Structure 1
């Protein structure tokens, strides 16, 4: 947390009064010394006057001045950038369940690792975030509409089933439709909550064609997401040497980093690569921080009030101890 400004800086005018108190104290000490020196019999003065306490007699006054300065800073309303949980946001988690997710280059399989990481992501999101779930292979299916309840999302993630083909564009379009419908219901006077799509896939689009610029293709969907101000954070999951067996024939299923990077760029989102289950969890953890929290200017006066009060109590205590009176 770093100090960034003051909400009511005009309270700093009180420092002029603090400065006046300092000047008054100095003048009072000089006047006292002059009155003391009026005694002509120095021997008698030593008998009737208490021994000088040296610099320690100024400790109560110094602490009082410091406390007034600290409390003045508190009144000025210091603010600081603080990470606070979002109380309204929509996230659609879009997971690839094509047959390539059966590859074992990520142990135990890509799908098993993806399910584990996705559940951790869902459980770690702040309560104010509405999370939805979509799976896609040859078609896209909305499994859970945006909701703050996590149990349904976790259960649906556990029940993900593999299918043929990869319709990446359909997954993005389905997510946009879910976000639009949800925003229309909960928008209210504040407008629709900020939204984001988190797309996790391991391969290249194959449906409706392998052209991502097809009207229902991934790049077209990414451009539509950009227009809707819904960035797509893409996670390219797997390695370049993944293999699966389909109908008895081994087939290579390398990840398609370039397409995922382009989808993120076109939509205004971020691209992430994860080649292991641990890396995937790290990516989801980073996304959880970005999505679940925001940086806001918040009141930071409490430490100043606490410190000023403690110093003020110290001033009173030292005055009683040193001078047997309150300052």
Structure 2
């Protein structure tokens, strides 16, 4: 454990005092031995000197030194990491429902696989987190406002239907608006709860074509950054996805680069999922990251108990062997 694992590491300065006491004890023992050797009448010395106790006589002060060491660690405030379930946080699941989600490069189709994985994500997410749903194609729709009721969210996921075009920026904007409205309703003295957008899409933006346009995904990602709402993007699908349009196969490749850029501009993370199983793993990872936080909690009590018990044993041994406290 590094010094950063202690709340008050300056207490370790007491170890300098402990080192001085150990040095003093060694000096006193050596001085006493020299004084003993000066005693010329060894026969008389054997009569008046107490019986030697060997190393046992050093046990009480040694244990006392250990007790001081352990109690110093307790005073320094050791901490430990614990996974604490998050509460109040808001997550907007933002799902692409453009026609490209009909592609069957992911069985049974991109959309159906996405629905299954999204519902599993909802089930496993920490109960205290508010989860909402936004769908987007040519326009964006808030399917469910943030709520802890997972049943309503899963019903909304089942009702996702396909439509034409892809307005990724509108999907991000609708999610931010829902987060803002919900934050105003539930925000207390501590302010609005922390929020995040989980954006799952398979293709490039088509409305507008320019990602940097006012409605574009890059512009909205920058706005999310300013609002302190990171966007975790999931690029779902493969490079060889196709759709049959009037009997002709049309490629519907995923746009990993755009999705990665959206995540970077917003301060979020990018994930790639080329299969239903990979998508489940991504959602499982996000559930752990979003649902729990690592907090440093006080871990000094075991050290305090150990130090106190060691000091008691040291005192007991001193009374037993020397009939005096060390």
TM-score over 0.5 (shorter chain) = yes
**Residue-by-residue CA offset, 1:140-188 (whole Å, 9 max, x unaligned):** 2212211233333233334433333322222111101101111212233
For 2:227, the equivalent position in structure 1 comes to 228
Q: Distance in 2 between matches of 1:170 and 1:241?
A: 27
Q: Could you list the runs of 5+ residues in structure 2 that have no partner in the other structure?
A: none
Change (3 A) 1:129 1:313: farther
Aligned-residue offset at 1:254: 1.4
CA separation of 1:320 and 1:230: change in aligned 2, threshold 3 A: same
TM-score relative to the length of structure 2? 0.81
| Equivalent-residue separation in structure 2 for 1:57 and 1:43 (angstroms) | 23
Decide whether aligned partners of structure 1 residues 324 and 253 sit closer, same or farther in structure 2, where only a CA change above 3 A counts: farther
Q: Do the aligned partners of residues 237 and 9 (structure 1) sit closer, same or farther apart at CA in structure 2, a change above 3 Å counting?
A: closer
1:198 is displaced (CA, Å) by 1.0
- Shift of the 228–9 alpha-carbon distance from structure 1 to 2, 3 Å rule, reads closer
Q: Per-residue deviation at 1:85?
A: 3.9
Contact 1:4/1:78 (8 A) holds in 2:
no
Q: Over residues 241-265 of structure 1, what are the superposed CA-to-partner deviations in whole Å (9 max), with x where a residue is unaligned?
A: 1123456554322111122123223
Q: SS where residue 4 of structure 1 aligns?
A: helix
The residue number in structure 2 matching 1:241 is 240
Query: How many positions carry a matched residue from both structures?
Result: 326
Partner in structure 2 of residue 119 of structure 1: 119
Can you give the 5+ residue segments of structure 1 that lack an aligned partner in the other structure?
none
**1:91 paired to 2:91:** yes
Q: 1: distance between equivalents of 2:254 and 2:122?
A: 24
Report the equivalent of 1:168. 168
Inter-partner Cα distance in structure 1 for 2:260 and 2:36: 84
Q: Distance in 2 between matches of 1:313 and 1:167?
A: 72
Which shows bigger deviation, 45-54 or 102-111?
45-54
Corresponding position of 1:204: 204
Q: 1:25 to 1:183 in 2, by over 3 A?
A: same
- 2:211 match: secondary structure: coil
C-alpha contact 2:57 2:321 (8 A) present in aligned 1 = yes
1:218 aligns with 2:185: no
The CA RMSD over aligned residues, in Å, is 3.5
Q: Greater shift after overlay, 269-278 or 78-87?
A: 78-87
Name the stretch that deviates more: 59-68 or 247-256: 247-256
Q: Which residue of 2 aligns with 1:157?
A: 157
